[in-house]
Structures are given as structure tokens and as C-alpha cells.
Amino acid sequence: MRKPDCALSLFLTKKMTDTAQNNKRIAKNTLLLYVRMLFMMAVTLYTSRVVLNTLGVEDFGIYNVVGGVVAMFSVISGSLSAAISRFITYELGKGDKEKLIRIFSSSVTIQLVLGLIILILAEAIGIWFLNAKMTIPTDRMYAANWVFQLSILTFIINLISVPYNAAIIAHEKMSAFAYISILEVVAKLVIVYMLLWSPFDKLIFYAILMASVALIIRFVYGYYCKRHFEECTYHFIFDKELLKKMFGFAGWNFIGATSAVLRDQGGNIVINLFCGPAVNAARGIAYQVNNAISGFVSNFMMALNPQITKSYAAGDKEYMMTLIHQGARLSFYILLILSLPVIINAHYILTLWLKIVPEHTTQFVQLVLIFAMSESISNPLITAMLATGNIRNYQIVVGGLQIMNLPISYILLRNGCMPETVLIVAICISQCCLASRLYMLRGIIGLSVREYMSKVYFNVLAVTILSAIIPCISSYYLSETFISFIMICAISVICTFSVIYLVGCNRNERQFILSKITAIKSKFRK
């Protein structure tokens, strides 16, 4: 009887060790990505201000909306990109190197063919839509067409980079991803200063420089992957069975990709049709603020996603459920800590940052951050669903709900509603999508809806309400000055951290936090 007991003990020890190593890997990768993100956020916020002031509100709005037209074609690429990432990560979890090589080469072939298809569609449909339907001043139409062509080039370059990016993330080599991303941000900082000395039209010159950066970064990704990952040497492979599986997965994922693009870029175009490029500029600024803040969550999920997929591939569903619950809560907490001071002080921050604040920008910033928090708790659920590969019904239901953003927003704006209505609709539909994801995952992976609602949804809701009370009251009584801004930010952070610790964390998590604080204190005492 001792031998089985001994074997069981060894198995449990190994499992605990593997789990601890996985958790350390997630923490290390997240930290690396956060260092990258802090640098990127600082540079992005600075460059956004300079670009807005250099281009002007109108040209900045044109760049955002024309880029949005090109991004509409990501409806085709987005579905396959998700399939590529899922298949590479899954095979790494299974440990099949031969199949991994075939998947990577097949992925590059797919992206090259896809790039050609998107180029043809963009030149045929996109140019007609830009010149016949968009609200752009006549004297800026020539520049807008240049921006369109260069945006297509940038899009195709980024498309070809997808398999290489997926390989880095799947291998969890976040240090490389962080360093290359920092290089990209530095290049964009250089662009800002070059823009100030532009020899011709600033909008066209800006689009040329952005396309150049995309090309440089594409070669850097390719060089790194070829040197470090044996599967990343491209060979033309036509694996009919593999392509069938990937396109089968991508085919259903196409609905989800369509819905996401129509929600985001479709909303941008609808705003342009009824409100003009100045409001597009306001929305563009809001999304830059959101990207800077949401990047922290994106980086955390980037470190977490491979572990969710690999744990599913390995059959460790218990660990997978733990990652889903903790990942959802932590994603939300990170966003809440960063977003609450910005939501409360949005007008003052924008005035301090931009000097020239387009109309509606404050409201857009507040609503887009609320939308980001609403979406954050769904991110681990989406990863879990993609890991299963069983996405037909999921994409039909959730994709169908997300597509409703566009017609509802169109009808409301046509009937005279404010442009902010687009984001209010997105927030409401986001909650409906969350309910649908929970219902379907219950049947596919055995996710307990009751447990998720208790451990995640009601938990983050209570934390949000309790965290916001004192900062909101303080903001009401304090005047809009720099000292008041600093005070409200400090109050927000202190309140949020306190509530997360007391209400958001369970007993084991509080003990873990206390042990880490004690360990840090003991190091400083030495």
C-alpha cells in the first residue's frame, strides 16, 4: 500500500511545484511587461499631445477615422490571427514540435495570402467609401487618400508579423516582447520631433513615418524569432488537413472578429457620418488614454493567456478555473486602481495634458474607461473558450450581440442622440455578452456560474462602489487645482487598495499579501 501512497505523494508534490513555477512565470512576465508599459504610457501620452497640437484637431480626426476604415478589414485578419495564436500555444502545451513547425509555416502562408486579399478589397471598396461617403473637407481629401494608402501598407505589415508575435507570447518570452515594444515607442517618439520639421504636408508625412516604423519592427520580430525558436524558419507548407482545422476555427471566429471591428471602428465611422472629424478627434484621444491604461491589463492577460490554454491542453481544469477567477478579478482591480482617478479628474487631466481639449473628449474618456472595466472580467473567459476550440455557438451568440452595437448606435445618432451614446450602448451590450459567455462555458468546461458571480462579479462590483465613495465626495468639495488633483489621486489609490485588500481578497490572499510585506520588511531591516 505504501507504493501507491508514495507515487501519489510524488505526483502531488510535482503538481504543486509546477503550479508554483507557472505562477512565478506569470508574475515575472507581468512585471517585465509592466516596466515596458510604464515607459510606453509616458511616451504615448506625450506624443499624443504633440501630434494633436502639430496636426490640429481636424487632421488628427481625419487620421483616426481613415485608419478606422482600414481597420475595418481586420474583420478578415482578426479571426485567423486568433486561430494562429491558439494553435501555436496549444501545441506548445502538448509538446509536439513537428506539428508546431508545420503550424507556424502554414500560418505565415495564410497571412501572406490574406494580405493580398485585403489589399485588393481595400483598393476596390475602401477608396470608394472614403471618397463617396466619409465626411472630410474637400481641401483635405488628397491627404486623406495618402493616409489611406499608407494605413493599408502598415496594416499588411502588421498582419504578417502576427505569427512571429504569437510565437514569442506562446513561448512566454516577454522580455523580448517588452524590449521590441520599447524600441517601437522610441521610434514613434523620434517621429514626433521629425513631424515638427516636416518638409511637406504634416498629415501625409506622419502617415509615411508610421508605416516606416511598422516595417522596421516587422524585421526585428522576424530576426529574433528565427534566432531563438526553431519552428520560426519559414518553409512553404500546404497541409490540407491542418489548414482545414485552422480555417474551421477561424471561420466561426470570423463572426467574433466582425462584431468587434463593427463595434469599435464602425462606431467611429457612424460618429463621423453624423458628427464630423472633430468628434472623431475627441474619440481618438479617449481611446489613446484607454490604450495607455488598459495596456496594463493587456500585459497581464498576455502573461496569463498561455497558461490558461496550456492548462486546458494538459487537462488541468482545476488550475484553469483558478486562473480564470483570479485573472478576471486582478484584471479589473488593475484597471480600477488606474482608472478611478482619471474618471474623477478627467477634465482637469485633459486640460493639463492637451491644452486644446476637443468637445466631448471628457465624456468619451470617462465612458471608454468604464467600458474597458466592463470588458476586463470577460478576458479570461474568452481565452478559456478559444482554448477549447469549440467556438461555433459561442461566436454566433456573442458575435451576434456585439454586432447590434452598430445598428443601435446608428439609429440613436440619426435621431439626434449625443455621440457619447455609442459607448453607453457598448457598455450595456458588454454585460449581455458576459452573461452569454458564462452560460456557454458552464456547458463546455463545467464553469460554475454561481461561483463566478460570487468570486468575481459581485466582488468587483462591491469593490468599485466602496472605492469610489470617498474620492467622489472629495472631488465635489475640492476646487479644480493641481494640489486638489494630487489629493484626489492619493485618496483614490489609498481607498481602492484598502477596499481590494479588505473586501476583494479572500483570507488566503490576504495572508499571502501579508507574508510578502513581511518578507520585504525583513530584507530592509537586514
pLDDT, tens digit, 9 for 90 and up, residues 288-308: 777 777 766 776 676 677 778
List C-alpha distances in Å: 141 to 60, 144, 204, 466. 14, 5, 11, 50
- Amino acid 209 reads L
Asked whether residue 514 carries a pLDDT value surpassing 70, the answer given is yes
Round the average pLDDT of the chain to a whole number and report it: 77
Amino acid at position 448, single letter: S
Highest mean pLDDT among 52-61, 154-163, 512-521: 154-163
> Tens digits of per-residue pLDDT, 474-497?
988 888 788 888 899 899 989 998
Q: Band of the pLDDT at 15, cuts 50, 70, 90?
A: very low
Residue 183 domain-assigned (yes or no)? yes
pLDDT of residue 11: 37
Q: How far apart are CA 84 and CA 106, in angstroms?
A: 9
Q: Higher-confidence residue: 33 or 479?
A: 479
Place of cell 482554448: 387
Q: Which three cell numbers stand for residue 30?
A: 507581468
Q: Does position 433 have pLDDT exceeding 80, yes or no?
A: yes
The pLDDT of residue 35 is: 65
Res. 2 pLDDT band, cuts 50 70 90? very low
* Three-state secondary structure readout of 321-349: HHHHHHHHHHHHHHHHHHHHHHHHCHHHH
Lowest mean pLDDT among 44-48, 76-80, 113-117, 265-269: 76-80
Mean pLDDT of 337-358: 84
- How deeply is 277 buried, as exposed, middle or buried, from its count of CB atoms within 10 A (0-12, 13-18, 19+)? buried
**Is 359 among the domain residues?**
yes
Q: What is the pLDDT of residue 152?
A: 81
For residues 213-239, average pLDDT: 79
Q: What is the pLDDT of residue 9?
A: 45
- Asked if residue 256 has pLDDT above 80, the reply is no
Q: How many helices (H) and strands (E) does the chain have?
A: 21, 0
Number of domains in the chain: 1
pLDDT at 44: 66
Q: What is the pLDDT of residue 6?
A: 47
Look at residue 14 and tell me if it is in a domain: no
Kindly state whether residue 38 falls inside one of the protein's structural domains: yes
7 belongs to a structural domain? no
Q: What is the pLDDT of residue 250?
A: 65
Owning domain of residue 165: 22-525
- Comparing 522 with 101, the larger pLDDT belongs to 101
Name the residue with higher pLDDT: 251 or 99.
Answer: 99
Give mean pLDDT, residues 188-194.
Answer: 79
For residue 313, being part of any structural domain is answered with yes
Tell me which of 255-259, 336-340, 486-490 is least confident.
Answer: 255-259
Out of 25-34, 47-56, 343-352, 418-427, which region has the weakest mean confidence (pLDDT)? 25-34
User: Greater confidence, 12 or 363?
Assistant: 363
441: enclosing H helix or E strand: helix 421-444
pLDDT at 462 over 90: yes
- Asked if residue 4 is part of any domain, the answer here is no
Confidence (pTM): 0.67
Q: What is the pLDDT of residue 108?
A: 80
Highest mean pLDDT of the ranges 153-157, 241-245, 380-384: 380-384
Q: Which pLDDT score is estimated for 13?
A: 46
- What average pLDDT does range 458-464 have in this prediction? 93
Which residue has better confidence, 181 or 221? 221
Residue 7 has pLDDT above 50, yes or no: no
Contacts of 194 (CB under 8 A, 6+ apart): 205, 209
Residue 13 lies in a domain: no
DSSP states of 68-126 = HHHHTTHHHHHHHHHHHHHHHHHHHHHT-HHHHHHHHHHHHHHHHHHHHHHHHHIIIII
Residue 267: which pLDDT band, with cuts at 50, 70 and 90? Answer: confident
Q: 197 in helix, strand or coil? A: coil
Find out whether 455 and 504 touch, Cβ atoms under 8 Å: no
